[in-house]
Amino acid sequence: MSEQGQSPEPGAQPRAEGEPRPPRGGHREGDAWHELVKLVDEVAGGRAAVIPAWRQRSMAESRWPVTLTVVAALVLQGLLPQRLAPHPVVLLPALEIALFIGLLIANPVRFERRSAVVRAASIVLVFLVTLDNAWSAVRLVLEIVEGHAPGTPAQLLAAGGTVWATNVIAFALWYWEFDRGGPVHRSLGKAVHPDLMFPQMASPELAPPDWSTRFIDYLYLSFTNAAAFSPTDVMPLARWAKLTMLLQSAVSLALGVLVIARAINILPG
């Protein structure tokens, strides 16, 4: 039977003259757009659930918490003994400060500008902070294992605590930089799926409607993961997040066990 002679399916709306027939065995062109419009209409009419937190747009994140935290990391690295710092001693700090100033100029108040150059500079800065601290951690561990760690127990604990605290900051910056594409993408709600599931995402009733993650949330995540050696209330969903948390837990465990054990061993009897 020809296409013109076919009977319409039961319940189907008659097709207007000149309207293109949808292809068989597939979705009509523009289905995704129609579904989005339908979802918006349902949400506006109160007939659908609230849009997930990771898909909502939010105000651009303020820069000052990140600025203060990065400054704290640079100060902590400067307080370490020079024997634990990579040489030449001023090279990495100078690069970190230069990149930091450039990022401040690009986004002086809020994280609203996100070009490829700005993102690359931000990642390089976090990498340099991590590299500097990783060098110090390796040097400290080698001194402890070889039995050459000088100084009193208090000095050893201070050096270990400084490296541990900088490690917390470095991993917080990694989580903050890569979760759902970074701060600018998070404010635009571009992520299809979350990388890290915060409690307020799983239970929206626990937070205000305009809640969104901020740097302090990632700093808390990094601290609790370093202290408990495992996730606490924030669950990693993406594989990169799981591997990053695994690495941070391993580093924190090694530092904690070796530094504390060595400090106790050299305590005066």
Question: Looking at this protein, which amino acid is placed at residue 16?
Answer: A
What does the alpha-carbon distance between residue 1 and residue 101 come to, in Å, rounded to a whole number? 74
Q: Which residue has the tokens 């929206």?
A: 204
Domain limits, the chain: 64-265
Per-residue pLDDT of the chain (269 residues; tens, 9 = 90+): 444 445 454 555 555 555 455 445 444 445 556 655 665 565 555 544 567 777 778 788 888 999 999 999 999 988 888 888 888 878 888 888 888 888 888 777 888 777 788 888 899 999 999 999 999 999 888 888 877 766 777 888 888 889 999 999 999 999 999 999 888 888 888 888 889 999 988 888 888 888 889 999 999 999 999 998 888 889 999 999 999 999 999 999 888 888 877 777 665 54
Do the Cβ atoms of 241 and 188 come closer than 8 Å? no
What does the alpha-carbon distance between residue 16 and residue 20 come to, in Å, rounded to a whole number? 9
What does the alpha-carbon distance between residue 52 and residue 24 come to, in Å, rounded to a whole number? 33
pLDDT of residue 236: 94
2 sits in the region (left: phi over 0; alpha: psi -120 to 50; else beta) called beta
Residue whose C-alpha is closest to residue 63's, from 214, 233, 248 = 214
Question: Looking at this protein, which amino acid is placed at residue 44?
Answer: A
What is the helix (H) or strand (E) element at residue 236, kind and residue range?
A: strand 235-236
What does the alpha-carbon distance between residue 136 and residue 83 come to, in Å, rounded to a whole number? 9
Q: What share of the chain is helix, strand, coil (3-state, %, to 5)?
A: 60, 0, 35
Q: DSSP code of 194? A: -
What is the helix (H) or strand (E) element at residue 163, kind and residue range?
A: helix 153-178
Tokens of 216: 């302090």
pLDDT of residue 268: 57
Q: Which residue has the tokens 């408990």?
A: 228
Tokens of 164: 């541990």
What does the alpha-carbon distance between residue 17 and residue 89 come to, in Å, rounded to a whole number? 78
